[in-house]
Amino acid sequence: MTAAAELLAIGAAAARIGVAASTLRTWERRYGLAPTGRSPGGHRRYTGEDLALLERMHALTLAGRTPARAALEALRDEDADDAPGARGAAGDDGTADAGGPTPARSGGPGGRVLAVPGAGPRVQGLARAASRLDVDAAAEIVEEALAADGVVHTYDTLLRPVLVAAGEAWARTGSGIEVEHLFSEAAVEALRHHRRSLRARLGTEPPVLLACAPRDHHVIPLHVLSAALA
């Protein structure tokens, strides 16, 4: 799909970048990073160029910039890219960076992005957040999926594919265990938050005792069951 034809709603754009939709709303409100496209029905949509700008903003925040500074640099780089004859934006050291969008497979502190072949934008966004060791973004993506799709569907279509990818990456390379641990932490926190919100809204039921088998260190399914029973 070409950049001109790519039009994403805020949820899909957030998943593509690897942040929460609320983060994009904050960036729009505070820094003017608003969607510039329109759907045939007149709804605001993020274009390919918008996504490239958001990717740049996110990469700068991961590199340690404050959000305000990251937005300023991202917008400045966009202006430089649009200038006639521009070949790239100057980095902090004065050298020129190669033009074009951020490589899709680049990672953050956690290394390369987990490969989840054939996955949709939300799964790819969660894999990207986990690979960057961004626990807050990962938890927010899971929380939004739980609120929209429920516990079982979120586990089957979002959590399990990323968990399998993390396990396979570790088995294949012997590295990246920190990605699996961070992903598990984010998933468990999101499931606990969802369970608490359900109990606050629906009331409590008689308690059910859940426990892992001996030497079973993978507790996400247990928390999924706990949230589903709530």
161 pLDDT band (50/70/90 cuts)?
Answer: very high
Q: Is the pLDDT of residue 130 over 50?
A: yes
Q: What is the mean pLDDT of residues 147-170?
A: 91
Q: Is the pLDDT of residue 77 over 80?
A: no
71 pLDDT band (50/70/90 cuts)?
Answer: confident
Q: Is the pLDDT of residue 189 over 80?
A: yes
Read off the pLDDT of residues 1-30 as tens digits, 9 standing for 90 and up. Answer: 444 467 999 999 998 888 888 889 888 888
Residues 75 and 89: their CA atoms lie apart, in Å, by 11
Q: Is the pLDDT of residue 172 over 60?
A: yes
Kind and range of the H or E run holding 37? strand 37-38
Of 4, 7, 29, give the one whose Cα is nearest residue 16: 7
What does pLDDT average to over the chain? Answer: 79
The two structure tokens encoding residue 93? 């050291």
The fold adopted by the segment(s) 1-102 is Multidrug-efflux Transporter Regulator; Chain: A; Domain 2 (1.10.1660)
Q: Which residues are CB-contacts of 118 (< 8 A; sequence separation ≥ 6)?
A: none
The two structure tokens encoding residue 205? 């039921």
Domain coordinates of the chain in residue numbers?
1-102, 105-230
Q: What is the pLDDT of residue 152?
A: 94
Residues 178 and 21: their CA atoms lie apart, in Å, by 25
Of 54, 15, 228, 12, give the one whose Cα is nearest residue 141: 15
Residues 158 and 124: their CA atoms lie apart, in Å, by 9
158 pLDDT band (50/70/90 cuts)?
Answer: very high
Q: Is the pLDDT of residue 219 over 60?
A: yes
Q: What is the pLDDT of residue 110?
A: 42
Q: What is the mean pLDDT of residues 31-39?
A: 87
